[in-house]
Amino acid sequence: MRLSGEGMVEARRLDAMQARLRAIRTRERALEDLFDRRRQRQDVSDLELEQAHAAIRGEVALLEADLQSHLRRTEELSTTLHHEAIDCRMRPFGDACLTIPRTVRDLARSLDKDASARLEGQSVSVDRDILRKLEAPLTHLVRNALDHGIESRAERAASGKRAQATLRVTAVHQAGMLMVEVADDGRGIDLARLRAKIVERNLSTPELVARMSDRELTDFLFLPGFSTAKAVTDLSGRGVGLDVVQTTVHEVGGSVEVQTELGRGTTFRMRLPVTLSVLRAAIVSIAGEPYAMPLARMERIDRLDHDTLEHVEGRLAARVNGEIIGLLRGDELLGIPSDAESDALAVVSLRTRQRTLGVIVDGFLGEEDVVVQPLDGRLGTVPHVSSASVRQSGELVLILDVDAMAIDAARRLDEGTLRGAAAGSEDARRRVHRVLVVEDSLTVREVERQMLTRAGYMVDVAVDGLDGWNALQRDRYDLVLSDVDMPRMNGLELVRRIRADRKLASVPVVMVSYKDREEDRLAGLEAGATAYLTKGAFHDRTLLDTVADLIAASAG
């Protein structure tokens, strides 16, 4: 109320400035009359002209001082009011944890276990919309940890642990993001048992499972109904409800991962934005235009000399922070022409799951807090652009989707990627059918790529639905092979977009998923998929036969 009142007072000062401006115009007309009389050789002295000019100059000086004072005060007020408005949306993280101690106490008693809750970072500020969405995931994780993560009293005594287990819920701001952890000191997840369960449910082949990393294995826990427990209780099951956790976190632009150690415990780590409306960004220049890159998504910023660059396997690279990273120009990623040349290179380092890579930009224009504004829906999907904002100078700036840029850059630097580097003549390219594989698991993606490549197809890969959609905007494909559960855009949404696009509506889409329930298959077909296969199709030629039949039918 105080700020709004001061803002109203400042706005009313403009009336006085407008009146002073009218007075200046009146004096200006009087001065013009004097000049007209002087030209007509009437009796006008130099003193009269000087006095008229001095009066106007004095009024202009006063008006300029008033304007500067008003602008300065208005900027202070608007900035303070903006931060106050943002603070009004922020709530302490502890508001989402009010029921956790009682839930832990009651469930532990009903399960005949001894456990206590330890809450850390309850005063950390979080956007109330994100906080509201966090309540369900936190409840799921706490219940799963108590039911299947924490051992009984006898088991803990036998393993030499404290009788009372500890369930820790922590929140902290880190690199402009909100990190929320739910950790227990229980039995941990038996990855060998998890591998066996995946094979038992025919979700993948033994060979493929044996090559999976720990992170890829724990991704199976987020499948609906997936559980490693011998018996799923009424309370929870390891994996039951975890799909809700992943879906909710992805909705707000976050990510979730699992770290576990057998006999030591399990930690679920959620990485979320602090607020959905404002972000801290680095303003970079690409092809002479300003772009905003969220600082939370950037690894580091460097300036490199041309003589420090190297060529590794025919690709431009540089040593940054003791690591050799591949380099790509930002204007090439965005598909815009640029002739900018400089003695030093400005490089933004981005981190993907597997490695760090560098994007070359023209230069850095500083850091700013930008208010996120969504793009008009009539623009459709703009590759590598997530939203827009207006800079402090009033200049429009596009906010780049740094995750999409990192994914695209990694793909272009990947040896197995054929986009932009396909061998052979143009005639040969026209004879080979092109398939786009959309899959977030590196292992599964590589298996599918190799299978299709050996079968004679030209294969491109995308690491999630949004990356796949961007690829479809750039190139033409004869068939799309897509997973269902992926970050940023899942397979169902990707299929719906393809069917809604007039140019892509006829492209066959095969969905390949771990989900083998009838309702999952119907959901995929209702979304517009041409065929729905489970990943058990890797065992035989079902996948290759389906791809061949659909491409032949589409060509016919």
pLDDT-derived band at 171, boundaries 50, 70, 90:
very high
Residue 355: its pLDDT value, please?
A: 64
Residue 556: its pLDDT value, please?
A: 63
Q: What is the mean pLDDT of the chain?
A: 79
Q: What angle do CA 365, 370, 372 make, to 5 degrees?
A: 135
pLDDT tens-digit map of 48-62: 777 777 787 777 778
pLDDT-derived band at 477, boundaries 50, 70, 90:
very high
Mean pLDDT of 225-232: 59
3-state secondary structure 169-209: EEEEEECCEEEEEEEECCCCCCHHHHHHHHHHCCCCCHHHH
CB atoms within 10 A of CB 433: 20
Q: Please state, in angstroms and rounded to a whole number, the distance separating the CA atoms of residues 81 and 387.
A: 23
pLDDT tens-digit map of 124-150: 988 888 888 888 889 889 988 898 889
pLDDT-derived band at 338, boundaries 50, 70, 90:
low
Angle between helical axes of 46-89 and 2-39 (0-180°, round to 10): 160
Q: Where are the beta strands (DSSP E) in 38-187?
A: 90-92, 115-120, 125-127, 165-174, 177-184
More confident site: 336 or 527: 527
Q: Please state, in angstroms and rounded to a whole number, the distance separating the CA atoms of residues 153 and 176.
A: 40
Residue 100: its pLDDT value, please?
A: 92
Percentage with pLDDT > 70 across the chain: 82
Mean pLDDT of 516-545: 79
- 380 Cβ contact list (under 8 Å, min separation 6): none
SS3 263: coil
Residue 447: its pLDDT value, please?
A: 79
Least confident of 206-210, 223-227, 239-243, 263-267: 239-243
Considering the entire predicted model, what is its pTM?
0.55
pLDDT-derived band at 354, boundaries 50, 70, 90:
low
Mean pLDDT of 515-519: 76
pLDDT tens-digit map of 61-79: 787 777 777 777 777 777 7
Residue 416: its pLDDT value, please?
A: 36
pLDDT tens-digit map of 297-324: 677 888 877 777 776 665 677 877 777 7
pLDDT at residue 383 greater than cutoff 70 = yes
pLDDT-derived band at 10, boundaries 50, 70, 90:
low
pLDDT at residue 464 greater than cutoff 80 = yes
- Chain-centroid distance, C-alpha 474: 21
pLDDT at residue 102 greater than cutoff 80 = yes
Length of the chain: 556
Q: Please state, in angstroms and rounded to a whole number, the distance separating the CA atoms of residues 339 and 225.
A: 54
Residue 509: its pLDDT value, please?
A: 93
Under a CB-based contact definition with an 8 Å cutoff, are residues 347 and 320 in contact?
A: yes
Mean pLDDT of 513-518: 76
More confident site: 48 or 263: 263
More confident site: 297 or 282: 282
pLDDT tens-digit map of 24-42: 777 777 777 777 777 666 6
* DSSP element (H, E) containing 227: none
In degrees and rounded to multiples of 5, residue 249 shows phi and psi of -65, -40
Residue 537: its pLDDT value, please?
A: 61
Tell me the CA distances in angstroms from 429 to 413, 419, 450, one per residue in order.
Answer: 21, 12, 18
Q: Which of 307, 306, 274, 280 is nearest to 293 (CA)?
A: 280
Q: Which of 125, 127, 121 is nearest to 172 (CA)?
A: 121
The two tokens of residue 123 are 């005063």
pLDDT-derived band at 230, boundaries 50, 70, 90:
low
Residue 423: its pLDDT value, please?
A: 36
pLDDT at residue 239 greater than cutoff 50 = no
pLDDT-derived band at 88, boundaries 50, 70, 90:
confident
Q: Please state, in angstroms and rounded to a whole number, the distance separating the CA atoms of residues 256 and 406.
A: 19
- Chain-centroid distance, C-alpha 98: 29
**149: which DSSP letter?**
I
Amino acid making up residue 410: A
pLDDT at residue 429 greater than cutoff 50 = no
More confident site: 111 or 374: 111
- 285 Cβ contact list (under 8 Å, min separation 6): 291, 361, 362, 363, 364, 365
pLDDT tens-digit map of 246-262: 778 877 767 788 899 99
Q: Which of 337, 310, 340, 338 is nearest to 326 (CA)?
A: 310
- Chain-centroid distance, C-alpha 413: 21
Ramachandran class of 314: left when φ > 0, alpha when ψ lies in -120 to 50, beta otherwise: left
More confident site: 556 or 505: 505
- 400 Cβ contact list (under 8 Å, min separation 6): 291, 292, 293, 384, 385, 386
pLDDT-derived band at 344, boundaries 50, 70, 90:
low
More confident site: 11 or 543: 543
Residue 422: its pLDDT value, please?
A: 36
Mean pLDDT of 213-225: 76
Ramachandran class of 280: left when φ > 0, alpha when ψ lies in -120 to 50, beta otherwise: beta
pLDDT at residue 270 greater than cutoff 60 = yes
